[in-house]
A and B are shown apart, each in its own frame.
Chain A
Amino acid sequence: MENLIRIDNLHKSFYDGDAELKVLKGVNLDIHKSEILTIMGASGVGKSTLLHLIGTLDRPTDGNIFYEDQDITAFSDIELARFRNDAIGFVFQFHQLLPEFTALENVAMARIIRQSKKNKTDNETTLDRKDAYETAEHLLDSVGLSERLSHFPSQLSGGERQRVAIARALINQPKVVLADEPTGNIDDKTSEAVLDVLNDVNERLNQTFIIVTHDSRISERAKRTVHIVDGRIAE
């Protein structure tokens, strides 16, 4: 299977004054295209830390992360932001939707950010915005929320919010979607529905997912599961 991400001897330590807390102690992991990989492990073992490093939200203490042979640990802050925008989608436990924006605007936001990076005329901006909203509408439709486009997050249920978050993660056709406990904050029935959406997207779009979870139902439906034990991967 074609490799998408290669993680090479990844270390991450946190410092509290002089005290060093080693969280990741040499993680090696290959992630393949179009797979759903779940990362499991006890609380505080470093699952989320690993996800943040893969998502370029944090930098490793040592080691490298390659996206299709491109070493992202060497990127500058601005390059990382651009890379996140283009190549990575995030789904969080607490959906993290922007409360002042409608479902449609929330989904379109990453596309709007991408478009704003170039010098454009007003006309081009209008066309861009139209394109962003059309794509967002299509995605919301595909997660079953075509009736909820102009609703604000506070007007949506937990499951609906999480589906908006999934749609948002997909807007720029990322290489990978990183999900941190995507069902951690919703009831069982809703979780099933959200997982159905994830599976559906994976199958239809060949979208790669990395999911950090405690939820064994997710790992059952995943194509591959790895465990983190003592800062290292145990498959």
Chain B
Amino acid sequence: MKFEWFVATRYLLSRRKQSFISIISIISIVGVGLGVATVILVIAVLDGVEHGLRDRFLANEAHIALRLVGNSFFGNYQDRIERITDVEGVVAASPVVYSQMGVFQTGNEGITDTIYVKGIDISQEDKVTGFSQFVNGSIDFQSSPLIAEAELREGETITGGIVLGSRLAQRHGLTRGDVLRLVVKLVEDPGSSGSPMLLVDFSNFVVIGVYESELAVYDNRIGFIDYKTAQKLYNQVGNVNVILVRLEDAEMAPTLSPILEEAAFSFLEMPISTTWLETHSALFAALKMEKVATVIIEALIILVAAFNIASTLIMTVMEKTRDVGTLRTLGATRGNIMRIFIIQGTVIGMLGTIAGTVLGLGLCWLLSTNIIRPSPWIAIATIVILILCQIIIAFRRLIPFPKALKISMAIFWTITVCFVLYCLVKPISLKELGFSEIYQMNQLPIKVNWFFVGFINLLSLFICWLATIYPALQASKLNPIEALQYE
């Protein structure tokens, strides 16, 4: 051990006389530790939310949507899809007729709701969005027995079956077998009087299934019908207006979308592509903002803890002024003195950072591990017993207090705190809190970002190191003669 380490570690560990400073060092360590632990935990939650949402989006959403400007229809889509699937990195592509329709409920005078209707080719759609695994009920749009039953019951023409988003169905009180009347389009009628009129073009659909993706965005607003039915409704037989694409790697979407535009369309057709990242850009941008804000706030927390280190060191320097004088007479240089205090502060920062990292990662583990925990009462009982033991020991302090007992008590306390945390910290159920609908997740998601853990460790060490410079510089500038005479 070098001379500076020899002196610095002794100052750090020594508890005689200046136990006050020892307590301040412990407070500094705890301060840094809590800062580091919170930042690791908060970022793990934010990352968890982001990844949870991504996974959900990606589970039932195409990576790229290709269309023409103005949402206009185009033909030859099978050729185009073939050309798209030839591109490397593309898994599948499917044709879609995408439109908005109005919900017309009997008894109401007007349109009560608008919904997005996707006309899909199930065989191809499944490869792109995994549609059928989210459907509860039938996906046979043309010949589900429910259609014939409804036709008989209502005595009206039924265009086909529709699969409705679960929340949408709930909102309109629709279950399987019910008929939904949709306003498909408005038709201009020249009329007999010469002034044109708008006629409403209705279609009746039977609810054959319910779509439940657990993503409110879709479950609230979307219905699925057969693409051929949709083509007929809009007089666009043989045409579609969207091609959805699934990629091997979702992250490649921004790179591949211009290539796919070129493969499927000519420049003059004016194609537009939207990636899944663009569709949810506002959400991802908000999450990113949140993370940046968190890092800044946490850096400030660590900064506050670093001020603690600085004040601890300033006090240590004041208390050790005579020692500094003595060491200078023994031949220590200003550099030696400076390093002693830098080491002392940096060790405090290091201990705090390590403790914080362990605590943060431990909490992340506890919050993401579903094991049945012992009852919280056991934890409380353990703490009470331990405090009683500590009080008894404190009363018997008149007898010399062996060092080994102190160390074993410290270890025992650490284990107890870990045990209590283990009992009390459980995964947070968003369902119980009533947030599951908003966040579309059942449990608070945790994802430890190891790169970030490393980064925050380095940042914390750097800030703590920086905090040592001023006190260390002051110590090194002490005049040895004045220092020796310092009372």
Residue contact A90 to B329, C-beta cutoff 8 Å: yes
Contact B1 A81 (CB under 8 A): no
| A125→B17 contact, CB < 8 A | no
A84 contacts partner chain B, Cβ-Cβ < 8 Å: yes
**Segment from B144-152, B242-250, B298-306, B330-338 that makes contact with A:** B330-338
Bound CA–CA A125/B325 (angstroms): 25
Given contacts A115-B3, A116-B4, contact A57 B331 (CB under 8 A): no
* Choice from B6, B10, B17, B334 contacting A77 with Cβ under 8 Å: B334
Q: Is B481 an interface residue (CB 8 A)?
A: yes
Which residue of the partner chain, among A83, A92, A115, contacts B484 with CB atoms under 8 Å?
Answer: A92
- List the A residue with the shortest CB-CB distance to B4: A116
Instruction: Convert A97-132 into 0s and 1s, putting 1 for each residue whose CB lies closer than 8 angstroms to a CB of B.
Output: 111110000000110111110000000010001000
Asked whether any CB of chain B lies closer than 8 Å to the CB of A52, the reply is yes
With A96-B322, A112-B3 as given contacts, are A81 and B333 in contact (CB-CB < 8 Å)? yes
B336 contact set on A, CB distance < 8 A: 81, 113, 116
Q: Which residue of A lies closest to B14 (CB)?
A: A100
Find chain B residues with CB under 8 A from A115 CB: 3
A-facing residues in B303-344 (Cβ within 8 Å): 322-323, 325-336
Closest to B1 in A: A125
Distance, CA A57 to CA B334, complexed state (A)? 12
Contact pattern, A 73-102, Cβ under 8 Å of B = 1, otherwise 0: 000011001111110001010001111110
Query: Would B328 and A110 count as touching, CB distance under 8 A?
Result: no
Contact at B330–A84, with CB atoms within 8 Å? yes
Interface size class of B (residues with CB under 8 A): 20 to 34
Q: Name the B residues within 8 Å of A152 (CB-CB).
A: 16
Q: Is the pair A96, B14 in contact by a Cβ cutoff of 8 Å?
A: no
Residues of A within 8 A of B16 (CB): 99-100, 152, 154
| Contact assessment for A96 and B484 in the assembled complex, using a CB-CB cutoff below 8 Å | yes
Residue A58, interface by CB 8 Å: yes
> What 1/0 flags go to A175-198 for Cβ under 8 Å of B?
000000000000000000000000
Check if B480 is an interface residue, CB within 8 A of chain A. yes
Chain A residues positioned under 8 Å from B4 (CB to CB): 116
Interface contact A55-B6, CB-CB below 8 Å: no
Q: Is B153 an interface residue (CB 8 A)?
A: no
Q: Which residue of A lies closest to B326 (CB)?
A: A96
Q: Which residue of B lies closest to A79 (CB)?
A: B333
- Point out the residue from B17, B330, B335 that lies within 8 Å of A109, measured CB to CB: B330
In Å, the complex CA distance between A90 and B329 comes to 7
Evaluate contact between B325 and A81: CB separation under 8 angstroms: no
Alpha-carbon distance A84/B333, docked complex (angstroms): 10
Q: B13: nearest residue on chain A (CB-CB)? A: A100
- Interface check B276, CB cutoff 8 A: no
Chain A nearest CB: distance from B382 CB in Å? 36
A101 to B13, CA, bound (A): 12
Say how far A200's CB is from chain B's closest CB, in angstroms.
Answer: 23
Q: Which of A81, A97, A100 touches B332 (beta carbons < 8 Å)?
A: A81
Task: Chain A residues near B325: list those with CB within 8 A.
Answer: 96
User: Does B2 count as interface, using CB distance less than 8 angstroms?
Assistant: yes
A82 in contact with B326 (CB, 8 Å): no
Within 8 A of A (CB), among B1-33: 1-4, 6, 10-11, 14, 16-17
Give every chain A residue within 8 A of B480 (Cβ-Cβ): 57
Q: List the B side residues contacting A86 at CB < 8 Å.
A: 331
Write the residues of chain A forming the contact surface with B, with a CB cutoff of 8 angstroms. 52, 55, 57-58, 77-78, 81-86, 90, 92, 96-101, 109-110, 112-116, 125, 129, 152, 154, 168, 172
Interfacial residues, chain B to chain A (CB-CB below 8 A): 1-4, 6, 10-11, 14, 16-17, 322-323, 325-336, 480-481, 484
